[in-house]
Structure 1
Amino acid sequence: MNFKKALVSVPLSVALLVPGYNVLADEHVEKPTVTNAAVDLRSDLDRLFSEHAYLAMTAMRKGANGEKDFNQVAEALNGNTKDLTAAISSVYGDEAGSKFNEMWSSHIGYFVDYVKATAGNDEGAKQKALENLQRYKNDFSAFISTATEGKLAEEQLAKGLQTHVDQLINGFNAFVEGDYEKAYMIQSDAMEHLYMTSKGLSSAIVSQNPDKFNNTKAVTKAADLRSNLNFLLSEHFALAQQAMQNGINGDPEFDANVKVLNQNTEELSAAIASVYGKEAGMKFKEMWSKHIGYFVDYVKATAATDDAAKQEALDNLNQYRMDFSKFISTATEGRVEADALAQGLQTHVDQLVGAFNSYNEGDYSNTWMKAREGYEHMFTPANLFSSAFVAQFPEMFTGMPEMPETGMGGMSQEKEIMWMLWALPILLFAAIPFVKRKEQSAE
């Protein structure tokens, strides 16, 4: 059982897509922080590793369907690999970065081989792709364990990598078999799993290079909060962007895609209710759901070539932006400025609509450039919100034990449960049982 999201029952509304806001807090109290060299490294790796899963699974589906933007998605995935390589090189040097790039790129190629073999009904080629992924798993685990001087155990790394392989393969198989709900649930699991990768690797890097990171830590309760928000907010963008494409294409997976997107909304709404009360949670859900509906309206209007309806959808999004900003500003007693929030929401709208328009126009390179920008944007509000929450409630993030590290695949189930039982009294006023929406990936 995954308890990660149970820790994210905090007023997420104050962070939603804000380019900047003022946090009112007593300056004389020493507080934990979500922003330092180590936590920033972890957040950067959060983005890059989770984006890998998002783009890889999208590319595999598009490859199976023979969609026109497959090459551009692959280019975006390669861009992600280059960014990851640069991150590794900055710590371990160019030679290690080059080796990382070679191995990481090869494992992406093996997934592509599996897609091609599936399309060709070639069981032998499918098995060969899986065997290549097994070899990669072992070689890459040894490489990372050596680079981190054993701070990440090779055996645990291999287990985590096997989970990654299983999730991408099982998610793809479910998609090909027409089990779209399972496919999108596994996508979410796969993205979330890689947050444990970034957690383990960033912790190892920081422990190897304490001076380079000003003797800060990548794994603290405050850092965990920021990372959890990174996941929920970036997942919203990924699912919304995919749904708009699926909608204009009339794809059979549209309903399943939207169902998982709506369940993401349920989690956000539950978080609001846990802090501001049931009424505020219901109001949030109503407004947030409507803004998703306006994006769907825009897609429908585009399909019907109805310019008036398109403009109406944009007008509704603009009104939502203003109303929602005032609602959040009031709920937070001015800790979030309405004007600043409105600007951040406009960026989010522009990125989703821009990516969709370019897709519909066949400008796929621009589509996936905007998609990457939109995905990255969501990590800014996660940072801003977590900063505000930690400043408001520092006692929740001081003197608490760090969750045990067991490598890139995360902690054992038993240890995770024990940590939750220890922390529960401290987190009780914020913690709520989220609607469990994830099915376990078939192993």
Structure 2
Amino acid sequence: MRIGRIGHRGHLVAMLCAALAVVLAAGPAAVGSRAAPVADTGHEHAHTEGAPAATAADQAVRFQALLGQHSVLAADLMRSRIRGDDNFAQAANAALGGNTDAMTALVGQLFGAATGEKFRPLWSQHVVALFAYAGAVAEQDEAAKARAREDLVGFEKKLATFFAGASHGRLPADAAREAVVMHVNHLTKQADAYAAHDYAQSDRLYREGYQHTYDLGLTLADALLPARDRATLRTPIWRLRSQLGKVLAEHAVLLEDVTRAAVTNTADFDASADMINGNTRDLAAAVDTLFGAPTARRFQSLWASHVELLVAYAGATAAGKPDRRHEARSQLRTFETRMAAVLAPATGGRLSPADLSAALQAHDQMLLDHADAYAARDYRNAQDVADKTYEHMFALARRLADGFGATVAARLPRGGAQTGYGGLAVVNR
């Protein structure tokens, strides 16, 4: 199993992604959410006993992460409805419910429980309308599609009014509505393209939707957080942490997407591989900016083989080829050892090759577990693993940003890679 053109464009990602894996063993920070029904449950995620209180910087990244996660989960749910894959749709629906719970909890932390409970039904109804839209697309029911779209327009207005009101005038209502409309358009248009088998267009919108909602999280945090906390969002370390989290979480999402396509051998496999290539270009740009091309080039062939081996494992699992599965695992162990040996000197001896290899193995194992669960049609477990992997990416981004320090962080261009640094054009200072 080979990932299209990833071999050449994806290699520069190696150093950054492997370095990010070194902190896996220390455990994730809570960013995503466990699966739960999409309807209002009243459930809020419990804080880990003894965990430190979240700072404003933590809350801002969490807001970005949850919004980005919402976009990909909603797109996955809509696509599963269009495919008629009810079992996967149930798992995606449950994950969206957990994401809504987590977002409600965060809004409540920022603005009080009463405000959070006002947010919950607006967001939940927005999700339900997206679900209905996808069902109408699947059934080619233009009347139902128009009704769902009309409902979505109504929720766009309500959500924009909610966010503008919570900002106490810092976020203009028109700008808020423009952002929400763009979010809905990304999701509905990717669903339309997916139903028309235009997978390249659908996947382009899938990525744009994730990036837009993630960046929107920063603009909303900048508008909604108290003034004393907003300066944190402009520090080099925070910007590096935010942008690393963005591209690494997307990497995990897209790698899981392409392994699902490999398991099912579906027609969208090539488009899924192209999505990985696009994410790889963004990661490669970050590697080159932070560490320079000579260092990045040392990891080229290793990273390409890493991605291809994970996809090959997924394909062998689906095909019932245990020998190929074993070979992929074996080669991944070789990759982890070799990558650790190359990376350790770059850390100045702060991390040993053994520690690096163990962390890389833990990262790979999560992705293998996802492929196994999906191939077994255990979609709920597959979604849980995907959710944990998403969380890990933000833990990695935070610790690496801290480890790289302000000197390296300051090299990151203002705005990060390609997609800008915001999500709304206007926020009143």
TM-score range, shorter chain: 0.7 to 0.9
Q: How much identity, in percent, do the aligned residues show?
A: 27
| Partner Cα separation in structure 1 for residue 349 and residue 174 of structure 2 | 49
1:186 shift after superposition? 1.2
Contact 1:269 1:282 (8 Å CA) reproduced: no
171, 179, 184: which one aligns with 1:160: 179
Q: Write out aligned runs for 1:312-323 (5 A).
A: 312-323=327-338
Does 2:155 correspond to 1:136? yes
1:350-388 CA-to-partner distances (Å, cap 9, x unmatched) read: 211112211222222111111111111111111122223
State the alpha-carbon separation in 1 of the partners of residues 58 and 322 from structure 2.
43
Q: TM-score, structure 1 length as denominator?
A: 0.80
Q: Is the 8 A contact 1:16 1:381 kept in 2?
A: yes
The answer for the alignment partner of 1:331 in structure 2 is 346
Aligned to 2:93: 74
Q: Does the C-alpha gap of structure 1 residues 373 and 302 become closer, same or farther in structure 2, counting only changes over 3 Å?
A: same
Distance 1:396 1:260 in 2: 26
**Equivalent position of 1:18 in the other structure:** 22
The answer as to whether partners of 1:148 and 1:205 remain within 8 angstroms in 2 is yes
Deviation at 1:72, TM superposition (A): 0.9
Correspondence 1:61 to 2:92: no
Partner amino acid for 2:130?
F
The worse-fitting range, judged by mean Cα deviation, of 99-108 and 218-227 is: 218-227
Unaligned runs of 5+ in 1: 1-8, 23-34, 416-443
Whether the 8 Å contact between 1:46 and 1:230 is mirrored in structure 2 is no
2:307 matched to 1:303?
no
CA distance in 1, matches of 2:331, 2:410: 40
1:47 aligns with 2:65: yes
Alignment partner for residue 353 of structure 1, among 368, 389, 398?
A: 368
- Return the offset for 1:340: 3.4
Q: Do the aligned partners of 1:156 and 1:408 also contact (CA within 8 Å) in 2?
A: no
Partner of 2:401: 386
Correspondence 1:89 to 2:93: no
Aligned partner of 1:411 in structure 2 is: 425
Q: Which residue of 2 aligns with 1:199?
A: 218
- Can you list the C-alpha shifts for 1:211-263, whole angstroms capped at 9, x where unaligned? xx6x8623433322211111110111001111111111111001110122133
Aligned position for 2:193: 174
User: Which segment is superposed worse, 330-339 or 66-75?
Assistant: 330-339
What SS is found at the alignment partner of 2:71? helix
* Structure 1 residues 206 and 276, CA gap change in structure 2 (3 angstroms): closer
In structure 2, the CA distance between the partners of 1:396 and 1:178, relative to structure 1 (3 Å rule), is closer
TM-score when scaled to structure 2?
Answer: 0.82
1:100 Cα deviation (Å)? Answer: 0.8
Gaps of at least 5 residues in structure 2 are 1-12, 27-52
Matching residue's letter, 1:359? Y
More deviation, 311-320/325-334: 325-334
Q: CA deviation at 1:198?
A: 1.3
CA gap of 1:88–1:53, structure 2 versus 1, over 3 A, is: same
Q: Which amino acid aligns with 2:58?
A: D
- Name the aligned partner's letter for residue 424 of structure 2: G
2:170 is equivalent to residue 151 of structure 1: yes
Determine helix, strand or coil for the equivalent of 1:362: coil
SS of the equivalent of 2:225 reads: helix
CA displacement, residues 254-293 of structure 1 (integer Å, 9 cap, x when unaligned): 1110122133223333433445444433332211111111
Paired position in structure 2 for 1:37: 55
> Any residues of structure 2 matched to 1:228-307 within 5 Å, and which?
228-307=243-322
Q: 1:11 to 1:347 in 2, by over 3 A?
A: closer
Alignment partners' CA distance in 2, 1:408 and 1:282: 31
Match among 372, 391, 396 for residue 376 of structure 1: 391
